[in-house]
Structure 1
Amino acid sequence: MKQNLKNILISLVLFTLIIFSCEKQKENTEIILKNNLDIARADEPVTIKKSALSLPYDQFIIIDEEGLLVPFQKDDLNGDQQWDELALVLDFMPQQQRKLYIKAQDSLPVFKATTNVRLGKSPERNGTFTDVVFEKRDKKHLPQSQPPLYQMEGVSWENDKVGFRTYFDSRNGKDIWGKKTPELVLDWVGTKGNYHEMDWWGMDILKVGNSLGAGALAMEKEQQLYRLGETEDAIYEMVSEGPARTKFRLHYKGWQVDDHTYNLTEEITLWKGQYCYESQVTLTDTVTSNLVTGIVNMDAKELYVDTLDENYAMLYTHDIQSLNKDHLGMGLIVPKTYFNGYGETAADAASISSTYFCKLKPNGQEPVKFYFFAGWEVTDSLFSHKAGFEKMLKENSLKLNNPIQIEIHQ
C-alpha cells in the first residue's frame, strides 16, 4: 500500500514537472542574436526558419529584453497557406548581443507596414487601378499603351528609403523611385499627377531608355547580349509584404536566346531600411552562358569596380545622373561565386544600349544572386558625394560577410 502511494506521488511529481516544462517552453522560447562586427547595424534583416523553432503553437508575439513588442511577419514562401519563415528587422550596437522571447498569445497586434509591392491593374483602362497579387501578362500587351492597363507601367516596390519598378511588358526594364518621405506612397502614385516631376514624396529619378536601367536581366551568348524581352508567358506573383520586407516573383517562360529557349524565375526582396533590393534568378535549364544585369550609364562618366574581398565584387557609378539633375549613386554587389566580369554597351547599340553590365555565371541549379543599390542625395545628403555612396556599399558588403548570428533555446 505504501509502495503504491509512493509510486503515485512520484508519478504526480513527474507529471507536474512535465507540465511545468511544457509551460516553460511555451512561455520562454529564447532567441539570442549577436552582431560580431565593430560597427552599428541599423535595420538589420533577420530571418528564422519555422523548422528551427519547433513551436507548440502558431499564434504568438515576440518581445525583447525590455518587454517591448518586436514587429515581425510570418511568410508563406511556397503557397501552401502555412508560414515557413519569420522575418524581422532590428538595430544593433557594435558587438551587441540581443535576446528575444517568443510567447504564445491569441490576441495579435497589427504592425505598421514599412514595405510595399503593388501591381495596379485597370481592366477597363479608366484610371481606376486594383492591386492584384497574381497576374499573367497578355501576350498582346504593348509597352506604353494608352490608356494604361498597369499603374506605373508594371510592378512597383518600396520601403521607407527607396522605391523601384519594373515594366511589365517586353522591355522588362527596371527603374528607380527617389523618396523624400519614409511613408509608403506607391499605392496611389501614377493615378494622378506626373511622377516624373518633383512632388512632396519624391519622383521617378531614372532615365532607362533602351538600357538595363536598375538591374534588369539579359543573357550573353557568343559576345552578344540578349534582353529578357518578349516571352511566351510572364507572370507576377506576390509572396509577402509587411513591417520587415516585401517579396515577390516574376516568372518567365519561353525566353528565346539565339537558338535556345529558357524559362526563369526572378525573386525580388526589399527589406525595411535598406537602399537595395536582392534578386535571385533561377533558370530551369542548364546554362553555360552568362546571365547579365546592369546599370544605365547615359549620364555616368565612369564605372568604379572593387573586388572588395574574397566573397563579393562591387560595381557602381556616382554622378549627376538623376532626372532631377542631382547626384545619384547606383551599384551592384555580386557574390564572387557568380561574378564573371563586366563590360559596357555603346550608346547606339540595338538590343541593349548605354549600359555598364555585369556578367553572372550560373552555378548549376542554384539561384544566381545580386544586390542592386540606389542612393539619391535628396533622400540622404550622404549620397551627394561619391565617398558617401561608396562607404554605404562597403558597409553592406561587410554585413553580408558577417550575418547576425542566431541561437535558439527552447
Structure 2
Amino acid sequence: MKKLIILSLSFLAFYACKKNNETAKTDTNSSPKTYAEISIAQGGEWVDGPRGHKEYKNGTSFKNVTEFNVPEQHTDHSWYVRYEGPGWENSKVGYRLYLDWRNAIDIFGKKVDSLVLPYVGQNGFDSYHEPSAWGQDILKAGKSMGIGGFGRLVSDTIVHFREVENTIATIENTKNSAAVNIHYKNWKTGNDSIDLKAKLSIFQEDRFTKAELTPSKEISGISTGIVIAKGIDVIKKEGSKWAYIATYGKQTLASPPDNLGMALFYNLEEVESQTLGEHDHLVTFKPSTKTVTYYFLGAWEQELGGIKTEAEFKTYLDGLLNELNSKNTL
C-alpha cells in the first residue's frame, strides 16, 4: 500500500509538471530549458538525533532559496535540505550534489523531457529512490565521489569535506543555462587548508555538466572521478588535448539494474594522473591556482531517445571528444 501511495503521488507530481509545460507551450522560446535549485525545510526544529548529530524534525514544507549558508549542524541525513543538496537539470538528465561531508554527485534519471526537480522529494524525503513517472535516483555513490564529484587524494585516500569552516551555495538560473556555485571556506585536508570555489553548469543541449574548480592556493591531490561499479570495466580514450574515462553497463539502482553510461572528460594539460582509487576511477589535477575545467555526464537507457548499447555510447563520447579537441569547449 505504501508503495502504491508513493507511485500515485509521483504520478500526480509528474502530471502537474506536464500541465505546467503544456501551459508554457504558447511561448516556447521563453520557457526554461534548464533549471537549478536548493530547497530548505521550514517550520521544524533541530533536535538531537540517534546517531549523535542534529536532525531537523517536524518540517512542514520546503522553500527554495538562491543562497544557502550551510548551518554547522547540517550533515548527511539531517532531513534539512530537500534531496540533500542542490540539484540541476535539463530536458535529458538531472544531477544533485550532497551538500555535506560526502560532497558526491548523484544522477536523477529522467523518463520525460520536462523539468521535474521542483517535484522531487516533496512526497516523502527518500521518495525519489522509488521508480516514478518522471524517473528516479539511479546512482549509488556509496563512499565514492559519485560522478564528477571532487575531493583531495591524500596518501592514496580521497579526503572528502569533513572539515570545512563554512560552505555557501548559490543558485544561478539564466536563459540558456543553470548553475550551482559553491564556496568552501577553510577546507582542511591533511596538513593543508584552502578555500575552494566550484561552479557546476548545465546547458540546454546534451547531458553534460561543466565543472570548474578554483583553489585559493596550489595544492596537490585535487581530484574527481567516477564511482567504481562491480564487474564494470573502465573505458579510456585520449585525443590531442582532451581525454575521457567512462563506464557502461548495468550499474543503476533500478530494479532490476539497467544500462547507464557515465563519462568524465578532462584536459590533458591540467591533469597529473588517471588512476584506480579505492572507490573511484580517479582523475587528479596538477597543483594550480588557475581554474581547472572538466565535464561529466550520465546517459540512462530509459531517457527519451536514450542510448541503448555500449557501442552507441562510445560513438557518442567520441563525438564529444572530437568537439573538445577542436574547440577546447563544449
The two structures, once aligned, show a CA RMSD in angstroms of 2.1
Is 1:389 the counterpart of 2:313? The answer is yes
Secondary structure of the equivalent of 1:122?
A: strand
Whether the aligned pair in 1 keeps the contact of 2:198 and 2:213 (CA below 8 Å) is yes
Deviation at 1:109, TM superposition (A): 9.8
- 1:160-171 paired onto structure 2 within 5 Å: 160-171=91-102
Secondary structure of the equivalent of 2:72?
A: coil
Is 1:231 the counterpart of 2:164? The answer is yes
Q: Partners in 1 of 2:154 and 2:34 — Cα distance?
A: 37
Is 1:173 the counterpart of 2:97? The answer is no
* Matching residue of 2:67: 134
Deviation at 1:390, TM superposition (A): 1.3
Residues 263-297 of structure 1, C-alpha deviations (whole Å, 9 max, x = no match): 1000111001221100000001122x131111111
* Matching residue of 1:118: 37
Deviation at 1:186, TM superposition (A): 0.3
Is 1:190 the counterpart of 2:121? The answer is yes
- 1:179-218 paired onto structure 2 within 5 Å: 179-192=110-123, 194-218=127-151
Change (3 A) 1:180 1:142: same
Q: Partners in 2 of 1:290 and 1:300 — Cα distance?
A: 27
Is 1:299 the counterpart of 2:230? The answer is yes
* Matching residue of 1:18: none
Identical-pair percentage: 27
- Of 127, 130, 153, the residue aligned with 1:220 is 153
Change (3 A) 1:156 1:311: same
Deviation at 1:188, TM superposition (A): 1.6
Change (3 A) 1:131 1:394: same
Is 1:259 the counterpart of 2:259? The answer is no
Give the aligned residue type for 1:152: Y
Secondary structure of the equivalent of 2:262?
A: strand
Deviation at 1:224, TM superposition (A): 3.8
Deviation at 1:383, TM superposition (A): 2.5
Deviation at 1:387, TM superposition (A): 1.2
Residues 212-235 of structure 1, C-alpha deviations (whole Å, 9 max, x = no match): 111111112344432233311110
Is 1:159 the counterpart of 2:90? The answer is yes
Whether the aligned pair in 1 keeps the contact of 2:270 and 2:285 (CA below 8 Å) is yes
Residues 93-143 of structure 1, C-alpha deviations (whole Å, 9 max, x = no match): xxxxxxxxxxxxxxx997000101010111324241111000110111121
Whether the aligned pair in 2 keeps the contact of 1:300 and 1:317 (CA below 8 Å) is no
- Of 263, 281, 294, the residue aligned with 1:331 is 263
Give the aligned residue type for 1:388: E
Is 1:398 the counterpart of 2:329? The answer is no
Is 1:317 the counterpart of 2:247? The answer is yes
Whether the aligned pair in 2 keeps the contact of 1:167 and 1:173 (CA below 8 Å) is yes
Whether the aligned pair in 2 keeps the contact of 1:300 and 1:318 (CA below 8 Å) is no
Change (3 A) 1:380 1:318: farther
Change (3 A) 1:239 1:176: same
Deviation at 1:175, TM superposition (A): 0.4
Is 1:361 the counterpart of 2:292? The answer is no
Change (3 A) 1:127 1:401: farther
Give 5+ residue unaligned stretches, structure 1.
1-107, 347-353, 406-410
Q: Whose Rg is larger?
A: 1
Residues 311-366 of structure 1, C-alpha deviations (whole Å, 9 max, x = no match): 001100001001110000111000112122222233xxxxxxx221111224x322
Secondary structure of the equivalent of 2:168?
A: strand
Q: When the two structures are superposed, what TM-score results if normalisation uses the length of structure 2? A: 0.81
Whether the aligned pair in 1 keeps the contact of 2:100 and 2:161 (CA below 8 Å) is no
- Of 67, 73, 76, the residue aligned with 1:143 is 76
Change (3 A) 1:171 1:223: closer
Change (3 A) 1:298 1:220: same
Q: Partners in 1 of 2:101 and 2:251 — Cα distance?
A: 25
Whether the aligned pair in 2 keeps the contact of 1:181 and 1:201 (CA below 8 Å) is yes
* Matching residue of 1:16: none
Residues 23-48 of structure 1, C-alpha deviations (whole Å, 9 max, x = no match): xxxxxxxxxxxxxxxxxxxxxxxxxx
For this pair of structures, how many residues does the alignment match?
A: 285
- Of 368, 373, 379, the residue aligned with 2:303 is 379
Deviation at 1:404, TM superposition (A): 11
Q: When the two structures are superposed, what TM-score results if normalisation uses the length of structure 1? A: 0.66
